[in-house]
Amino acid sequence: MTRDDDMPRATRRRFLVETAALAGAAGIGLSLTPVPASATPASMRAAIRKVVGEAPLKKGKLKIDLPPLIENGNAVPLVLTCDSPMTADDHVKAMHVFTEKNPQPNVISIQLGPRAGRASVSTRIRLADSQKVVAIAQMSDGSFWSEEIEVVVTLAACLEGV
Amino acid sequence: MTRCAALVLVTALLGPPALAAEIPLTERKSGYDFMSRETRAMQDDETANPGMLWVLDGEALWTRKDGAAAQSCADCHGDARTSMKGVAARYPAFDAVRGRPIDLEQRINICRADKQRATPFAPESKDLLALAAFVGRQSRGMPVEIADDERIKPFLQAGRDMFHQRQGQLNLSCAQCHDDNWGQKLAGAPIPQGQATGYPLYRLEWQTLGSLQRRLRNCLFGMRAISYPFGAPENVDLELYLMWRARGMPFEAPAVRP
Amino acid sequence: MARALINVPPKSKRGDVIEIKTLISHVMETGFRPDPTGKPIPRDIITDFVCKYNGEEIFRAELFPAIGANPFISFFTVATASGTLAFEWAGDNGFVATESVDITVE
């Protein structure tokens, strides 16, 4: 009855979970076609550098709200908040989100101003695998702040066919 | 041996040939109870529930005149908030003309063909799902109530038999997971009871809204069994059994599920 | 048809920080999914979202394929005056959608 004969069981399960995770995240049915190259920590750093340049990233101010255990990577609720008085002299100008292992590193970039009242945005993102999510805030004084979080992505047990 | 494979092997070996015991009425839980806090919030918040996009579309379709008769749903049924209240929670229901139960999507298509004299909607089409979602929304919060009708009994039994029948390459029955092992984990995710209280629903896996029949096709695929085509009577018998099994539970359409 | 669902408090007081919730139907095809033959389905996403309050831009977002289908975006603004909130989504294949709601600020 077992179809695990051709691959060591642990490897096969990991293969199924990883392709299924990618499938779940991008809505692909389980298939054996080659999966696209995913982002790497290096490409995420490059994407961050495009936004930040050589400026130092200070830790703090940002809060990333993502469920630590995600049932389905297709629509993960994300709330990103940055602590700031949002006055004309002291406000968040932009916030950016990046991932480490999605097929490409950028998720969303938002632009704000003192009219926002609160530097907080809520959306639903796709996560292709258990991974690190990084947020960057750009302040009116030119400083950059960052925060990161690790999440685990699982899937429903019964997937749809292609 | 992985836990998943162990569970499958154990249930395959120990599953009794007799019918699995049905979940006691007081122990029934909706799939809602097995979801994360965030997914539950997505369902509850009608300003953020993606299924509401289909409800909005359905609301527009409700008043659209269509077909050779140039009639809209509203022309016969008036304000859906009143006329459709409680309707979806009673489906599948017996149709005297066809001599068997039909589900809500079939009922909508019968109205289209007979009253509007328009082409029925294709299964799982955007318009059909939108109308089902709009009608379903009018029953949100009401108890599922399948009428105690003598005529549905043979179909209900057929649905019940299918739920308990081992099938597919894994030789599993629905009951083995959803009656006997609900609440336990399979491949990292909790096994729900399979209470069909929220259809049509937005499944995160599909990234869109879909019907109970679509979900049943997924289930059978997951069990490595052959699915019935959309509209097949076997699907409706099973839907009937599932809704009867969920009787009294609050109707949740449009629900959100992982 | 791209339908959008907007939610704002219909009435607020001057100076209140109000939450604006937006939801639009869009497949947000990532460009990474293979079709049944194995070829990637071409990307088709919303790339830009802007909100203007009485004509002045108060929020802008650049979206990437990692934003989920049927994008939900919610953000805040200070209620300054009664008027109109105008929303515009734009994306691949010339996609454009607009929506507007009126708000009352006392």
Domain ranges of chain C: 4-105
Q: Contact at 8 Å (CB) between B254 and B51?
A: yes
Q: What is the pLDDT of residue A50?
A: 95
Q: Name the packing angle between helices B126-137 and B104-114 (round to 10°).
A: 110
Q: Contact at 8 Å (CB) between A74 and B204?
A: yes
Beta A144-153 vs A57-59: how paired, if at all? Answer: parallel
How high is the mean pLDDT in each 10-residue block of chain B (258 residues)? 54 45 90 94 96 97 96 96 97 96 97 96 97 98 94 97 95 95 89 96 95 93 89 95 96 96
Amino acid occupying residue B43: Q
Helix (H) or strand (E) holding A95: strand A92-99
Which positions ≥6 away from B169 have C-beta within 8 Å?
A: B223, B224, B225
CATH number (domain holding residue A135): 2.60.40.2470
Percent of chain C whose predicted confidence (pLDDT) is above 70: 98
Per CATH, the number for B22-258 is 1.10.760.10
User: Which residues of chain A are under the pLDDT cut of 50?
Assistant: 1-13, 15-35, 161-162
Any domain includes A132? yes
* Structural domain that includes position A56: 36-153
What's the mean pLDDT when you consider all of chain B?
91
- pLDDT, tens only, B128-163: 999 999 999 999 999 999 998 999 999 999 999 999
Q: What is the pLDDT of residue A26?
A: 43
User: Which residues of chain C are under the pLDDT cut of 70?
Assistant: 1-2
- pLDDT, tens only, C79-95: 999 999 999 999 999 99
Any domain includes A5? no
Q: Tokens 């990307």 map to which residue?
A: C43
CA angle in degrees (0–180, nearest 5) for A86-A92-A98: 145
Q: What is the pLDDT of residue B158?
A: 97
Distance from CA of A53 to the nearest CA of B (A): 35
Chains that touch C (3 or more CB pairs under 8 A): A, B
Q: What is the pLDDT of residue A66?
A: 94
From B47, B56, B207, residue closest to C3, measured CB to CB: B56
Q: What is the pLDDT of residue B17?
A: 38
Q: C-chain residues within 8 Å CB-CB of A126? A: 30, 65-68
Q: A-chain residues within 8 Å CB-CB of C61? A: 108-111, 121
Give domain C4-105's CATH number out of 2.40.50.140, 3.30.450.20, 2.60.40.10, 3.40.50.11540. 2.60.40.10
In DSSP terms, C53 is beta-bridged to: C56, C85
Integer Cα distance of A8 and A21 in angstroms: 20
User: What total number of domains does chain A contain?
Assistant: 1
Which of B207, B209, B256 to mutate: most C Cβ within 10 Å? B207
Q: What is the pLDDT of residue A154?
A: 80
- By annotation, the residues of B acting in catalysis are 219
Q: What is the pLDDT of residue B19?
A: 46
Integer Cα distance of B101 and B240 in angstroms: 8
Q: What is the pLDDT of residue A38?
A: 62
**Which regions of chain B does DSSP assign to beta strands (E)?**
93-95, 100-102, 185-186, 189-190, 201-203, 208-210, 256-257
Any domain includes A115? yes
Q: What is the pLDDT of residue A45?
A: 92
How many CB atoms are closer than 10 A to CB A146? 19
